């Protein structure tokens, strides 16, 4: 199965190349967003898999599932550029980052015609608190009290949190109490519950044709620019790009593979919307297993890996070098470019100092054991497969043998993060891994990657444990202002670079292709890519 998956992925790349080469370039100038049509009667969006009934508790993926849900269900706030501004809430008022007062906009109605009330907001908070399941479910455990007074909602947090507007208010889908109050099993919520206040109404969902979303005629928060959105389910990446070229779809939700980017950009009717993805690709070390429990070994191996070569070769330059401190250099919390630690001589010297001497086969022996390790990699990810091959070569330069095991992603997850519960331990030496954009954009989630305590560090899949880092995390999460958190994050980055619990290899750049002759209003939003409200609605906020 593993080998088949790898062949399938490799075949996909080859076929993509064939699609592009067979069709010819066209030679016209690249079309940029904004150069074509600003409105459209209908666009077709291709997604890779079924997203269920498109309620906040039944969509299957964060992207693009959550993005589609947010076209149906509005949130209290929305991220516009770097700012968080009110959406259903007219303003976000707080003096201490602990008590938030949210006056609601007037004239907002649900898709069934009922009026939105402050009680719906209170209900939504309580419903999300009681139902932690679902890909669009939001952690609201920090809200100690929520109350409604007329058309104003007040939320009191357990401690000051300057990221609350971005992480909760701009993410929590608001639910209609009159429809959701009786729901017991959220996982079985049907399309009859996909009723929000958002710019689009779910009109149809079936196995054969996918989804149809139509513009909400009573939308009070702005002007909807596309009348109908057809969502087609096309699992195969190559088919999506073929359909884009024929005009059967108007935008693909798959990132354009780096090797195809230039060719697609040269197509006259195809535009590309690009931006920072923030998703990080990592090389994990199992910190609980010798010799990776020794920070000196981890640092030495980190020094042996040329991340610049990985970006140039595996991503063909369509990526950003991984920061040793993990946080993306473009993130507001990043301390700045700390440079790559790559230094083969230093890596060899460090391993020599640790007493790891080359054996007869050239592989170093440390504490009586050959430095030969298994590296897990997802068979369906071509850039990670290529990166793993390159890492094998790089580590062989310092006398460390790597045996690559390519496997289906669920099999890999079961070894690295069994049942998504770090308390169950882990069973690997090294693994290719990735964290999605939301993790990078929240100090709370970054802390969860590193805390020694599994309760506070539920994302600590490497089993990292260090008291000094725990202290740095406490300092980060207890800061009451955003500036304070940014300063604390800089200290944390230093700790991570020093301890090297993993190697942050790179952050892939995002590039999405669309038909500019149909609709070219697609814009980039950090953490949301191209499929979000600002691409489809001219908001009046």
Partner 1 sequence: MSAIQASVPATPVARRGRLTFLGGRVLEYLAVLIVALTLNFLLPRALPGGPLKLFGSPEALARLTAEERAQIATEYGFGDPIHLQFLDYLHSVVTLDLGTSLSDGRDVTAAIGDALPWTLLLVGTSIVATTLIGITLGVIGGIRRREGKGAFTLTGAIVVDSIPQFWLAMLLIVWFGVKWQIAPTFGATGPDGTTVAGLAQHLVLPVATLTITGIGYIFMYTRSSMLSVLTSEPVQHAHARGIPRGRLVRRHVLRPALLPVHTLIMLDIGFLAAGAIVVETVFAYPGLGRLTFGAIAARDYPLMQGTFLVLTLMVVLMNLLADLTYPLLDPRARTGGDR
The reply to whether 425 sits near partner 1 by the rule CB under 8 A is: no
Segment near partner 1 (CB under 8 A); pick from 18-26, 160-168, 321-329, 495-503: 18-26
Identify which of residues 15 and 344 has a Cβ nearer to partner 1 in the complex.
15
Name beta bridge partners: 226.
40
Counting residues that bind partner 1 (by CB under 8 A) gives 59
Nearest to 506 by CA among 386, 378, 374: 386
* Residue choice 29, 82, 150, 185 for contact with partner 1 (CB under 8 A): 185
Is residue 374 close enough to count as binding partner 1 by CB under 8 A? no
- Contact call for residues 488 and 480 (beta carbons, < 8 A): no
Q: Which of 2, 30, 37, 60 binds partner 1 (CB under 8 A)?
A: 60
d(CA 159, CA 137): 21
Based on the shown chain and the rule CB under 8 A, indicate whether residue 26 belongs to the binding site for partner 1.
no
Q: Which positions ≥6 away from 182 have C-beta within 8 Å?
A: none
Q: Closest separation between CB of residue 111 and partner 1, Å?
A: 19
- We find the least distance from the C-beta atom of residue 448 to partner 1, in angstroms, to be 7
Region of 57-65, 98-106, 287-295, 354-362 interacting with partner 1 (CB under 8 A)? 57-65
235 binds partner 1 (CB under 8 A): yes
Closer CB to partner 1, 185 or 345, in the complex:
185
Cβ-contact 207, 115 below 8 angstroms: no
Tell me the three state secondary structure of residue 346. Answer: helix
| Residue 158 binding partner 1, by CB under 8 A | no
Mark the segment that binds partner 1 (CB under 8 A) among 243-251, 304-312, 500-508, 517-525.
243-251
CB of 116 within 8 A of CB of 103?
A: no
CA distance 219 to 199: 6
Q: Which is nearer to partner 1, 248 or 343 (CB)?
A: 248
Q: Find the part of the chain contacting partner 1 (CB under 8 A) among 157-165, 277-285, 307-315, 414-422.
A: 414-422
Q: Using CB under 8 A as the criterion, what x/- string covers residues 188-227 for binding partner 1?
A: xxx---------------xxxx------------------
**Using rule CB under 8 A, residue 501 touches partner 1:** no
- Find the distance separating the first CA and the last CA of the chain, reported in whole Å: 51
Is 300 or 422 the residue whose CB approaches partner 1 more closely?
422
Q: Which is nearer to partner 1, 235 or 339 (CB)?
A: 235
Q: Specify whether the CB–CB gap between 535 and 522 falls below 8 A.
A: yes
Under rule CB under 8 A, residue 414 binds partner 1: yes
Told to check if 3 binds partner 1 by CB under 8 A, we report: no
Contact status, residue 84 vs residue 170, Cβ threshold 8 Å:
yes
Shortest distance in whole angstroms from residue 210 CB to partner 1: 9
CA separation for the pair 326, 310 (Å, rounded): 16
- DSSP string of 53-76, one letter each residue: T-STTT---IIIIIHHHHHHS--S
Q: Which of 261, 265, 379, 377 is nearest to 319 (CA)?
A: 261
Query: Contact with partner 1 (CB under 8 A): which of 2, 50, 313, 480?
Result: 50
CA 55 to centroid of chain Cα atoms: 20
23 binds partner 1 (CB under 8 A): yes
Cα-to-chain-centroid distance, residue 397 = 33
Name the H helices within 397-431: 409-416
**CB-based contacts of 253, cutoff 8 Å, min separation 6:** 45, 46, 47, 48, 63, 64, 512, 529, 531
Output 62 or 494, the one with its CB closest to partner 1: 62
The least distance separating partner 1 from the CB of residue 243, rounded to whole angstroms, comes to: 5
Residue 238 binding partner 1, by CB under 8 A? yes
Write down the least CB distance from residue 240 to partner 1, Å.
8
User: CA-CA distance, 92 to 103, in Å (whole number)?
Assistant: 8
Strand partners, 231: 45, 211
Binding-residue pattern over the window 104 to 143 for partner 1, x denoting contact by CB under 8 A: ----------------------------xxxx-x-x----
Residue selected from 310, 459, 473, 486 as contacting partner 1 according to rule CB under 8 A: 459
Closer to partner 1 by Cβ: residue 235 or 290: 235
Interaction between residue 69 and partner 1 (CB under 8 A) = no
Distances (CA, A) of 60 to 48, 167, 268, 298: 11, 20, 34, 36
Q: Which stretch binds partner 1 (CB under 8 A): 82-90, 329-337, 435-443, 482-490?
A: 435-443
Give the interface segment with partner 1, choosing from 97-105, 314-322, 343-351, 432-440 (CB under 8 A): 432-440
C-alpha 174 chain-centroid distance:
22
Give which of 298, 307, 301, 430 is closest to 376, Cα–Cα. Answer: 430
Q: Which is nearer to partner 1, 189 or 273 (CB)?
A: 189
Q: Which of 259, 411, 452, 523 binds partner 1 (CB under 8 A)?
A: 411
Stretch that binds partner 1, among 7-15, 117-125, 317-325, 514-522 (CB under 8 A): 7-15
Q: Could you write out the DSSP letters of every residue in 192-233?
A: GG---SSSEEEEEEETTTEEEEEE-TT--SEEESEEEEEEEE
Name the residue among 464, 468, 459 with its Cα closest to residue 500.
464
CA R_g for the chain? 24
Name the DSSP class of 253. S
Chain residues in the site for partner 1 (CB under 8 A)? 8, 11, 15, 18-19, 22-23, 49-50, 52-53, 58, 60, 62, 132-135, 137, 139, 185, 187-190, 206-209, 230, 232-236, 238-239, 242-243, 245-246, 248, 408, 410-411, 413-414, 417, 419-422, 436, 438-439, 445, 448, 458-459
């Amino acid at each position: 199965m593993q080998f088949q998956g790898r062949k399938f992925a490799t075949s996909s790349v080859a076929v993509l190349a064939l699609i592009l080469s067979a069709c010819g370039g066209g030679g016209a100038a690249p079309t940029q967003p904004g150069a074509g049509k600003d409105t459209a009667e209908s666009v077709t969006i291709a997604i890779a898999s079924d997203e269920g009934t498109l309620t906040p508790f039944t969509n299957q993926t964060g992207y693009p599932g959550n993005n589609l849900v947010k076209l149906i269900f509005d949130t209290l706030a929305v991220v516009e550029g770097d700012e968080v501004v009110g959406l259903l809430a007219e303003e976000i008022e707080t003096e201490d980052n602990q008590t938030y007062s949210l006056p609601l906009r007037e004239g907002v109605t649900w898709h069934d015609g009922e009026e939105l009330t402050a009680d719906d907001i209170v209900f939504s908070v309580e419903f999300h608190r009681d139902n932690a399941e679902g890909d669009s479910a939001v952690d609201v455990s920090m809200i100690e009290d929520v109350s409604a007074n007329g058309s104003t909602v007040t939320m009191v947090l357990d401690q000051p949190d300057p990221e609350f507007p971005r992480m909760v208010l701009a993410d929590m889908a608001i639910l209609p109490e009159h429809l959701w109050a009786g729901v017991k099993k959220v996982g079985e919520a049907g399309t009859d519950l996909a009723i929000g206040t958002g710019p689009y109404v779910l009109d149809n969902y079936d196995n054969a044709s996918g989804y149809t979303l139509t513009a909400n005629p009573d939308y009070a928060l702005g002007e909807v620019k596309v009348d109908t959105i057809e969502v087609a389910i096309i699992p195969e990446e190559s088919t999506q790009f073929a359909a884009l070229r024929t005009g059967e779809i108007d935008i693909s939700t798959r990132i354009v593979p780096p090797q195809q980017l230039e060719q697609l950009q040269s197509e006259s009717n195809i535009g590309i919307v690009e931006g920072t993805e923030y998703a990080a690709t990592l090389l994990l070390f199992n910190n609980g297993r010798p010799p990776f429990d020794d920070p000196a070994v981890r640092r030495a191996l980190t020094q042996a890996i040329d991340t610049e070569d990985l970006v140039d070769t595996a991503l063909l330059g369509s990526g950003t070098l991984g920061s040793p401190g993990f946080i993306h250099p473009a993130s507001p919390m990043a301390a700045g470019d700390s440079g790559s630690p790559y230094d083969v001589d230093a890596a060899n010297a460090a391993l020599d100092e640790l007493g790891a001497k080359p054996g007869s086969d050239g592989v170093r022996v440390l504490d009586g054991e050959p430095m030969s390790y298994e590296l897990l990699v997802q068979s369906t990810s071509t850039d990670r497969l290529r990166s793993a091959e390159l890492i094998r070569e790089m580590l062989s330069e310092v006398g460390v043998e790597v045996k690559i095991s390519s496997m289906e992603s669920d099999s890999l997850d079961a070894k690295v993060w069994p049942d998504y519960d770090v308390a169950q331990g882990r069973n690997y030496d090294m693994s290719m891994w990735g964290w999605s954009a939301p993790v990078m954009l929240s100090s709370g989630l970054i802390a969860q990657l590193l805390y020694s305590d599994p309760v506070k560090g539920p994302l600590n899949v490497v089993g990292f444990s260090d008291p000094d880092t725990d202290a740095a995390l406490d300092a980060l999460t207890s800061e009451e202002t955003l500036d304070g958190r940014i300063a604390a994050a800089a200290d944390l980055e230093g700790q991570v670079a020093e301890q090297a619990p993993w190697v942050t290899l790179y952050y892939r750049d995002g590039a999405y292709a669309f038909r500019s002759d149909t609709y070219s209003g697609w814009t980039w939003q950090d953490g949301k890519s191209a499929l979000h409200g600002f691409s489809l609605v001219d908001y009046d906020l």
